[in-house]
Structure 1
Amino acid sequence: MLHGKHLIAGEWVGGAETFASQPASGEPAQFANAGAAEVDRAVRAAEEAFWSYSALSRADRAAFLERIAEEIEARGAELTAAGHAETGLPAARLEGERGRTTGQIRLFAKHIRETGFLDLRHDVALPDRQPLPRPDIRMMQRPVGPVAVFGASNFPLAFSTAGGDTASALAAGCPVVVKGHPAHPATGEIVAQAVAAAIAACGVHPGVFSLIQGVGNDLGAALVTHPLITAVGFTGSLAGGRALFDLCARREVPIPFYGELGSVNPVFLMPAALAARGEAIAKGWAGSLTMGAGQFCTNPGIVVAIGGADADAFVAAAKEAVGAVGPQVMLTDGIAAAYRAGRERIAGTAGVREVLVTMCDRRNATPYLFEVSGDDWLANHALGEEVFGPLGLIVRVADFAQMEAVARSLEGQLTCTLQMDAGDTDLARRLMPVLERKAGRVLANGFPTGVEVCEAMVHGGPYPASTNFGATSVGTMAIRRWLRPVSYQNIPEALLPEELR
């Protein structure tokens, strides 16, 4: 049963103001619209919970995370129904995303049962060292405090209420206040019910998790500027993320803002691979480009290929494959409108040629394909800006030197991909230093959609892909965002954290 309210420190709290959901199917529902008062109540409860939750043993925190995963799975059918109605995402996609979400939570639980993430260090005392003795110094990572998390529109489970940011912060020992995304408030509330059930079952302080819902920029601003919030996790647009990042920097006490803001994820077609299997690459690229209506931050929106007959064949095969994809429902009316505006921006740019133009209306999206010369790409920085949806741009470069120039012209990316065969190794080796500098993840002979949740994954990159190139929002290293190092000098063992004794 939906409450249509906020979950604040274990209580369902309403308010005078509400907003209506905008589902892809079914009737809209009313949800409480939070303001500064609800933010303050949730954050203060998180601060109070911090003292006991941060002191929980790693085993107890792991058990709590695992119970959250169990409670989410127990509500699986309800989550799929709500998510499909609100977002238009197919049931199979939502069920897969639910598995990814609970799998990531369990991965974090497993990870914190070991001590590696704490980076334990110990320099033993050297009382007889000359000219000065050395004290006993030990160091470990400790949780930072209450964390604010912003749910994402395109992943109602894996990057939202109990997604990677929330789960990694809880794993680190930090209470969380989530601002749910208004694109899927019912889905968010059902997940919050699962977290609340886990809190009750494990006897954790109820302030460890709150969900506040609402629309408008003021709510997000109130959350990130609250003086008790110590860090922020965000997945969303460049404009929205940059605005919140700037607010965090302008606070009286600035705090870290870990924003994952998307990218165009270029795919570089090496000559031998293009000649040998260009048609197969084109089909694979078309599938990745149009998957989920292109609503992935790792959507490969740009292909770079050396012009010639092989490139002609690739474009023809890509046009055929992309043209076979029918209309798909986008997550929100606003995202659909922004996609159409992006199409008009690209189509109206000097030097851009239409390869495939389709018709889309309202909340439906159909794919588009364009091409441009390497010269025109290098002359127009705006062509490298993300269009969120199934729009592909093929950059035809004159030679490998211009391909390298295109790579160097890129802004920060989440991913860069090489399609290569053995004969391309020398050229690919020349590109690698550029791609390593530009992206958080470099792939060979694959496509970037589908981010593996594992120890070695990096989902982040240089700005504007993310606001902190040293962090990731996927994989176990995500936990490190919510920790800070503390040194203990000559501290009696009885006062040390258990892991340092």
Structure 2
Amino acid sequence: MELTGCDQGMDPQTGEPVGAAVAHTTAERVHRIGWAAAEAAGRLAALPLTERAGLLRAVGAALEEARDELVALADRETGLGPVRLGGELTRTRVQLEFFADAVEEGGLLEAVVDPADPAALPAPRPDLRRMLVPLGPVAVFAASNFPFAFSVAGGDTASALAAGCPVVVKAHPGHPGLSARTAEIVGAALAGAGAPDGSFAVLYGTEAGRALVTHPAIKAVGFTGSEAGGKALLDLANTRPDPIPFYGELGSLNPTVVTPAAIAARGAEIAAGFVASFTLGAGQFCTKPGLLFLPVGHDLTPALVDAVRAVPVGPLLNARIRDGYTEISAALAGVAGVRNLTPVEQPERERAGYRVPARLFAVSVPDLLARPGELLAECFGPAALVVEYADAAELVAALSILPGTLTASVHADVPTDEAFAAQLIELCVARAGRVIWNGWPTGVAVTWAMQHGGPWPATTGSLHTSVGQTAARRFLRPVAYQGVPQELLPPALRDGNPLGIVRRLDGVLGVDGLMYVDGPVTG
């Protein structure tokens, strides 16, 4: 079967086509790309860590060199603006360099050496050595809202390459021209740095993406997108003859809870910060705070409404997102008990390009509890729902019914709220992968400690993150070697630690001969 069609870039400012259309990938080419990745897998995994790190740095340097060209191309297809896109490209380069450092440090391998011990109880212990090894070729589905950081050369691609896995990216149809050019730059950089042929490829089209998930060579999938799209691909991954891990980021409400004491201390600041956060990037962040819990009688409505009306909201990324935003926000406005704080006079379809107004709604906790299915639907775009609670019991009840989420934020005052704040944080931990104190969730730092994931439907697997060093853990699996001769062991597990990496030797974590206690000290 041949897969036909093409992806055409559109200018969100005007709704008009930009650039040349990019043809969808044929079924035969998907087949060949998958097996080329399979052939590359063993050679890529066998590269020394320093060379694997060099691949990542080469990609980062190539993206930086093409900065002006890529930012201009991305702006034409996304309308996100050169300032935002320039910052995102920097983040993408830094992310690649971050993973390169992690690869060289060696902790990524989680190497463990337990030498044979005939005196061990309850029985003599054989020589056991364990480390993480690459899964094999990884399929990555690019996102629309971050055309650099979560797209062709984004976090999933970087973390899979850091793990030693070939990557096949399914490009997002919202920025096909940028995807094609980025693919050329990344492919050339990897080849120039010594990556095996087949280590990286990009394909186009929905049916090509489906074929990729079911390709026998693919061993894991990374996805960022809608809940409907993610669930469909998850089903494909699970119904293969050999089911594979599917790491999907699907949707998130990101609640923000504000106590009366916090309002008394800095109510105006909180109102302004919330509006700035939920309208940032036209509300198209996966970490957009979509729910704001305020006590009854908070008196912040005028400040919130004024701030919303003052925000110049840019266009949404494409017509599909605009239509979804229009539909879901209209549905929210029609739910019994909902107050529309920012009525819209001009229909979205009459606005130039994909521009929409920011919208703010309000509802009481009893009404939320009566209609959670209607009120807890994610509205991707610059819309948010204020939920007003009468007392602590109502707030706890409302938080207890929330679905899983990437983030949850608490604005409180210590020592006034100390006991209650501890309860709120506990409730947030049960539902979110990242809990924020007196701050805002938009913005995800590329650090060792970052957790970007959460219970369903935020992600399909709350044990993992798609940002930060441990994102690579998704594409690795543990293998134990028992009694294997030294010359046949991977270098990371050999006596003498020839790679000089951090590992656990006979129960002690560190570089062999050093222990780690707030940094290395001589053991």
Give the structure-2-normalised TM-score: 0.90
Q: Are residues 1:162 and 2:148 paired?
A: no
**Other-structure match for 1:277:** 266
**Other-structure match for 1:27:** 18
Deviation of the 1:133 alpha carbon = 2.9
Is the 1:357–1:367 Cα contact (8 Å) retained in structure 2? no
Give the letter aligned to residue 387 of structure 1: C
Structure 1 unaligned spans of 5+: 1-13
**Other-structure match for 1:11:** none
The aligned runs of 1:281-292 (5 Å cut-off) are: 281-292=270-281
Q: Deviations over 1:197-252 (max 9, x none)?
A: 212221211200001122x3x22211111111000000001111111111111111
Match of 1:61 among 52, 62, 66: 52
Aligned length: 483
The aligned runs of 1:342-421 (5 Å cut-off) are: 342-358=328-344, 359-362=346-349, 363-382=354-373, 383-421=375-413
Match of 1:333 among 303, 319, 336: 319
Give the letter aligned to residue 496 of structure 1: L
Give the letter aligned to residue 18 of structure 1: C
Deviation of the 1:132 alpha carbon = 4.3
Q: Are residues 1:80 and 2:66 paired?
A: no
**Other-structure match for 1:120:** 111
Whole-angstrom CA distance in 2 between matches of 1:326 and 1:360: 17
Report the more deviating stretch, 349-358 or 27-36: 27-36
Q: Are residues 1:183 and 2:174 paired?
A: yes
Q: Are residues 1:256 and 2:239 paired?
A: no
Deviation of the 1:29 alpha carbon = 1.9
Deviation of the 1:398 alpha carbon = 1.2
Is the 1:15–1:32 Cα contact (8 Å) retained in structure 2? no
**Other-structure match for 1:300:** 289
Partner secondary structure for residue 221 of structure 2: strand
Whole-angstrom CA distance in 1 between matches of 2:81 and 2:41: 38
Give the letter aligned to residue 186 of structure 2: V
Q: Deviations over 1:114-166 (max 9, x none)?
A: 12121111222123557743211100000000000000010100000010000
**Other-structure match for 1:496:** 489
Is the 1:327–1:360 Cα contact (8 Å) retained in structure 2? no
Match of 1:235 among 208, 224, 227: 224
Whole-angstrom CA distance in 2 between matches of 1:129 and 1:426: 47
**Other-structure match for 1:8:** none
Is the 2:315–2:355 Cα contact (8 Å) retained in structure 1? yes
Give the letter aligned to residue 396 of structure 1: E
Is the 2:40–2:166 Cα contact (8 Å) retained in structure 1? yes
Deviation of the 1:190 alpha carbon = 1.8
Partner secondary structure for residue 160 of structure 1: coil
**Other-structure match for 2:422:** 429
Partner secondary structure for residue 454 of structure 1: coil
Whole-angstrom CA distance in 1 between matches of 2:487 and 2:118: 21
Give the letter aligned to residue 404 of structure 1: V
Report the more deviating stretch, 370-379 or 270-279: 270-279
**Other-structure match for 2:196:** 205
Is the 2:133–2:476 Cα contact (8 Å) retained in structure 1? yes
Is the 1:263–1:385 Cα contact (8 Å) retained in structure 2? no
Is the 1:407–1:434 Cα contact (8 Å) retained in structure 2? yes
**Other-structure match for 2:236:** 247
Whole-angstrom CA distance in 1 between matches of 2:121 and 2:472: 40
Whole-angstrom CA distance in 1 between matches of 2:152 and 2:432: 27
Is the 2:21–2:177 Cα contact (8 Å) retained in structure 1? no
Whole-angstrom CA distance in 1 between matches of 2:292 and 2:4: 50
Whole-angstrom CA distance in 2 between matches of 1:128 and 1:432: 47
Partner secondary structure for residue 281 of structure 1: helix
Whole-angstrom CA distance in 2 between matches of 1:490 and 1:387: 56
**Other-structure match for 1:104:** 95
Q: Deviations over 1:452-486 (max 9, x none)?
A: 11110000000000000000000011011000000
Whole-angstrom CA distance in 1 between matches of 2:219 and 2:87: 32
Give the structure-1-normalised TM-score: 0.94
**Other-structure match for 1:221:** 210
Deviation of the 1:15 alpha carbon = 9.0
Whole-angstrom CA distance in 2 between matches of 1:130 and 1:96: 56
Give the letter aligned to residue 225 of structure 2: G
Report the more deviating stretch, 158-167 or 37-46: 37-46
Deviation of the 1:314 alpha carbon = 1.4
Give the letter aligned to residue 192 of structure 1: A
**Other-structure match for 1:316:** 302
**Other-structure match for 1:41:** 32
Output the aligned Cα RMSD. Answer: 1.5
Whole-angstrom CA distance in 1 between matches of 2:23 and 2:251: 29
The aligned runs of 1:136-147 (5 Å cut-off) are: 136-147=127-138
Partner secondary structure for residue 410 of structure 1: coil
**Other-structure match for 1:463:** 456
Q: Deviations over 1:72-123 (max 9, x none)?
A: 0111111111111101111100000000100111000001111212111122
Deviation of the 1:379 alpha carbon = 1.3
Whole-angstrom CA distance in 1 between matches of 2:100 and 2:293: 41
Partner secondary structure for residue 46 of structure 2: coil
Structure 2 vs 1, CA of residues 153 and 360 (structure 1 numbering), >3 Å: closer, same or farther? farther
